[in-house]
Structure 1
């Protein structure tokens, strides 16, 4: 009994350093992490086995396993059905999985799980998110109720961004200052995408005008991957140059001038005849 206990202790002492050292530095990289719908993505899983033999590498989308690499089995690769996942077997191995023509269903968490072989069977797993997107195909559109404004007018405007996924968030800026901060972007579904809309109704005061005009800008953003804007500049009608008043004469004044000129001419003729 004593000898058996000593043997178990010896096994633990011998294998403890290996248990501590093996299977480290497991890192998952997704290139690209933000993928355009229908394009490809490569999932790379690097690890250091510390001379321990590899038992298998498993890949998960969420909790669902879709790819496994087991070097001691033939074939060494297995694929498990998952909607929207198309694995390129020729380009996939124990270090990476290549996905072709990714769909929206792949947005979410991917996990790489590495397990060493006997006697330790150490396991480590790392996860990372992928986002499948469709970006707007053009800049946002900005429409205002009028083309010029005056103090006291109400500025009414509407901004829309083309369909995308995720939906764009819209922001209004007047003379480079954010207005209507609490206004929420409305999102409308169209098939698998959403188009965005934001409306503005703002009473105008002298402080809103920059010199003789106002500039309204609408910015469309999708996280850190997309930003576009459109702007319109509108004059302040009260700041236009005044039209000079036309100088006119009354008919009575005109008659007086004409009569005065005739009298002068008669006096001149009389003076010439006398002399």
Structure 2
């Protein structure tokens, strides 16, 4: 209760200072990574301009819970309040920098820096930013190709390995992004999904109408890109090759063997059958 009253006085003094045209603490800015890997070392920076006022405290919060406090008038200057998933390197931390080591999934959340000037004004400002801690997938997305029984539509299915946040999947045809496709996400354990940040399997389906305009020099490239921020980027491609054999009176239907890297898809046409051979490229 005393802490809340003190905070209220600080806030009131700050408002009064602003209304009277006095500024003594300004330009509080934070630099917080958007994403980090498990076991990474992360730097949280908090810069500010006291304009000659003495510093009272710098506090760091994750959500509503304080985990780091710097008080220049006390020895030791640094106080730490344990939180799950957060381990602080005290030798490298200071009034403007907090170094977190051995990051864990529980470290995902919103981080806030609160700066207060000393008496008599006790001006207070704060800034915050959100950071994800990711168990980066090691596997590539899985790309499979299907064709419809009737017509000349090609269906691609791309499934990414489990990740939190889930892998973002994007389709490209001949290097140009395909905008019309569906997405899905499925938790690996539905019983825990509501209570924990658990890995999620993301998937995507694209359907394309095949015609000669798709092919460039007899070839077309369908690609599925998987990304998680700048920490994970994988691509799986399928090359479609156009061939025009001699006309045949009946249609021929075929399937791509999804268990091999190379397969043949044949789409029957009454006059000129369109033969597609698909080569899977791993990148």
Query: Structure 1 length normalisation: TM-score?
Result: 0.68
Q: Using the alignment, how far apart are the partners of 2:176 and 2:125 within structure 1?
A: 50
2:180–2:206 Cα contact (<8 Å) kept? no
Query: What are the within-5 Å matches in structure 2 for residues 21-32 of structure 1?
Result: 21-30=23-32, 32=33
Alignment: residue pair count: 225
Q: Which moved more, 1:228-237 or 1:77-86?
A: 228-237
For residues 159-198 of structure 1, what are the alpha-carbon distances to aligned partners after superposition, in whole Å with 9 as ceiling and x for unaligned? 2222222211223333445457141233442693223222
Q: What residue is the counterpart of 1:194 in the other structure?
A: 200
Answer whether contact 1:19 1:120 (CA < 8 A) is retained. no
Mean Cα deviation higher: 101-110 or 177-186 = 177-186
Superposed CA offset, 1:113-154 (max 9, x none): 1111111111121212222223332432222247xx999333
Q: Distance in 2 between matches of 1:214 and 1:72?
A: 68
Deviation, structure 1 residue 66: 1.0
Distance 1:42 1:172 in 2: 34
Higher helix share: 1
Greater CA drift, 62-71 or 225-234: 225-234
More moved, 179-188 vs 115-124 = 179-188
> Is the contact made by 1:163 and 1:193 (CA closer than 8 Å) also made in structure 2?
yes
2:237 maps to what in 1? 231
Structure 1 alignment gaps of length 5 or more: 1-14, 244-275
Q: Secondary structure at the match of 2:116?
A: strand
5+ unaligned residues in a row in structure 2: which ranges? 1-16, 190-196, 249-283
Which whole-Å CA distance do the structure 2 matches of 1:105 and 1:87 have between them? 14
3-state SS in 2 of match to 1:85: coil
RMSD: 3.4
- 1:20 pairs with 3, 22, 28, which one? 22
Is the contact between residue 68 and residue 80 of structure 2 (CA under 8 Å) also seen in structure 1?
yes
Cα distance change of structure 1 residues 92 and 223 upon mapping to structure 2, 3 Å threshold: closer
Verify the 8 A CA contact 1:150 1:204 in the aligned structure 2: no
